[in-house]
Amino acid sequence: MPTKYIFFTGGVVSSVGKGVTAAAIGRLLKEHGLTVAVQKLDPYINVDPGTMSPYQHGEVFVLDDGAETDLDLGHYERFIDIRLNRVCNVTTGQVYAEVISKERRGDYLGGTIQVIPHITNEIKRRIGLVAKTTGAEIVLVEVGGTVGDIESLPFLEALRQMRSDIGRENTLFIHVTYLPHIGATSELKTKPTQHSVRELRSIGISPDMIVARSDFPVGDDLRDKIALFCDVEKRAVVPLVTTNVLYEVPLLLEKAGVGSYLLERLKLESRHNPDWTEWEQLVAKVRQPKPVVKVALVGKYVELHDAYMSVYEALKHAAISLGVEVEIDWVHSAELEKERGWEVVQNAHGIVVPGGFGSRGTEGKIQAARYARENKVPYLGLCLGMQLMVVELARIALNNDDVNSTEFDRSTSNPVIDLMPDQRAIADMGGTMRLGMYPCVLKPGSCAALAYAQPNVNERHRHRFELNNAYRNMLEEAGMVFSGVSPDERLVEIAEIAGHPFMVGTQFHPEFLSRPNRPHPLFVAFLRAVRDKANVGS
Ligand code: GLN
């Protein structure tokens, strides 16, 4: 069977949930017994989001193979429960870099390199790699941004060509738009949707389905109108009203008949009747009123919650499984340094210090770790949060405030966190990063081993610095347990504080592997300690 493609474009405005819609449709097709993979095409010129500020772009999501990708890949992996690979995120930067390096090698034999066909061919080649590397029967491809952006034109042109290359029965276009609500007349407007469909048509793409996002219920008359003006079958106009439960979206789309429509259009048969019981139970659990526990998330990019998307989701997943509602209180670590925001930390039943780069706010995070250790408040340190928990203890044990990570103080007298000797030679920023999946051996009886309930695990990394082995003995004597190490024991992967209800730091990012129905064991263990601290629930 030829690979089937579903292309997602966005209209009207961005940030209305195109990524979640694609992820939810992926889940829906999986429930019908088909294998799916998802790819995001990002029109920016960076080669990957790794070098972008989280303020610009939100979290960088890391895959098994170490690819630094758009946060939508996190939605895809969580909703569909799949593992994606580096071909699943393509940027304009990657496409141009490849074409230009081929040109320099002389691969084009003296031709003039143009957007059409050279750039579009490279885009199509990369789309083709998804099915080749994952074996998926259906590949979902989401184009970032909205139709009308200059940057996305080559991507849309490539998709247009694919429809004629491989045929209508193998390709399907879903356009995700937004219906604004006019307060004065209390009505939803379809005009921006009509305009964006017209824009899409002007570049040769006719959408097969319109998913109309809205904050208000969408009447049948509006569906008629969109169907008529946008020349789409009425049953392919799917209103998607904002829900407070993200994981309800696949259920809503199934109810709207999206599954059967897509299968019919792509000439596919459902392999089995979808069984949504698990998802329905999940959504019911989210909706149920539950005792509230509070977690202070002490970070640096807290103004933009997207910067901690996976941490947020992992906390929510663990909370669902434990029957509690987790309230996440965002604390700016630089504020703590100025003696502000401490009441939020003090009112919380647990503290998370997530990953981060650069020195701003690190002292505040160290203070938060000290507070957690001294007051026996459950603490989960993720990457930087682990490194700073080590700095905190070492400062006390050595009675020296000059202890630091060399990331923040190159001339510190005690570099407890440092580059590994073999990394130092490599000056190129980014080149020294430890990225992707690495194995970790757990110490029997430790908090981490009890949480995982298995001796060996694999987790995703994204960092440059490591715990300095010269300080291991000293830290152990001070009460730190190295509960996870690399198989050769050279790298500390997990550190915890002995005799504390739960103070665990991981050099890796467990949040990337959490799933709504399969919460990450470390997040569950952390929240269990948080629940005990709050003295609620069972
Ligand atoms: N900045 C630290 C390092 O590079 C931690 C990175 C992170 O938290 N992801 O090692």
Mutate to test the pocket of ligand 1, among 426, 434, 463 (most ligand atoms within 8 A of CB): 463
User: Is the Cβ atom of 384 under 6 angstroms away from ligand 1?
Assistant: yes
- 447 is annotated as an active-site residue: no
Cα gap 530→319, rounded to integer Å: 10
- 440 is annotated as an active-site residue: no
Closest atom of ligand 1 to 433 CA is 4
Mutate to test the pocket of ligand 1, among 384, 391, 423, 506 (most ligand atoms within 8 A of CB): 384
Confidence of residue 201 (pLDDT cuts 50, 70, 90): very high
User: Is the Cβ atom of 356 under 6 angstroms away from ligand 1?
Assistant: yes
Residues 217-235 have a mean pLDDT of: 94
The size of the chain, in residues, is 538
Residues 450-464 have a mean pLDDT of: 97
How confident is the model at residue 408, as a pLDDT?
94
What 3-state DSSP class applies to 125? helix
User: Is the Cβ atom of 357 under 6 angstroms away from ligand 1?
Assistant: yes
Cα gap 320→267, rounded to integer Å: 38
Cα gap 489→476, rounded to integer Å: 15
pLDDT digits (tens, 9 = 90+) for 67-96: 999 999 999 999 999 999 999 999 999 999
Cα gap 175→262, rounded to integer Å: 14
- For the whole model, what pTM was predicted? 0.94
- The residue contributing the CA closest to ligand 1 atom 1 is 357
Confidence of residue 188 (pLDDT cuts 50, 70, 90): very high
Residues 422-440 have a mean pLDDT of: 76
Percentage of the chain with pLDDT > 90?
A: 89
Tokens for 537, please give them: 């629930």
Cα gap 262→77, rounded to integer Å: 21
Residues 469-477 have a mean pLDDT of: 97
How confident is the model at residue 424, as a pLDDT?
67
Closest atom of ligand 1 to 465 CA is 10
Confidence of residue 320 (pLDDT cuts 50, 70, 90): very high
Confidence of residue 51 (pLDDT cuts 50, 70, 90): confident
How confident is the model at residue 15, as a pLDDT?
75
pLDDT digits (tens, 9 = 90+) for 245-274: 999 999 999 999 999 999 999 999 999 899
How confident is the model at residue 132, as a pLDDT?
96
Whether residue 430 has pLDDT greater than 60: no
Please confirm whether the linkage preceding 439 is cis (ω < 30° from 0).
no
Residue 140 and residue 8 in contact, taking contact as beta carbons nearer than 8 Å: yes
- 75 is annotated as an active-site residue: no
Rounded to the nearest whole angstrom, what is the distance from the C-alpha of residue 343 to the centroid of ligand 1? Answer: 27
Kindly report the average pLDDT of the chain as a whole number: 94
User: Is the Cβ atom of 365 under 6 angstroms away from ligand 1?
Assistant: no
How confident is the model at residue 520, as a pLDDT?
98
Residues 120-141 have a mean pLDDT of: 97
Confidence of residue 304 (pLDDT cuts 50, 70, 90): confident
What 3-state DSSP class applies to 470? helix
User: Is the Cβ atom of 463 under 6 angstroms away from ligand 1?
Assistant: yes
Q: DSSP code of 518?
A: B
- For the stretch 262-297, what's the b/e string if a residue is b when 16 or more beta carbons lie within 10 angstroms of its beta carbon? bbebbebeeeeebebeebeebbebbeeebeebbbbb
Sequence-distant (6+) residues with CB within 8 A of 25 are 6, 140, 174, 250, 253, 258, 262
Whether residue 428 has pLDDT greater than 60: no
Residues 97-102 have a mean pLDDT of: 95
Whether residue 423 has pLDDT greater than 80: no
How confident is the model at residue 420, as a pLDDT?
83
Whether residue 429 has pLDDT greater than 80: no
Closest atom of ligand 1 to 466 CA is 10
Q: Residue type at 181?
A: H
Sequence-distant (6+) residues with CB within 8 A of 204 are 157, 160
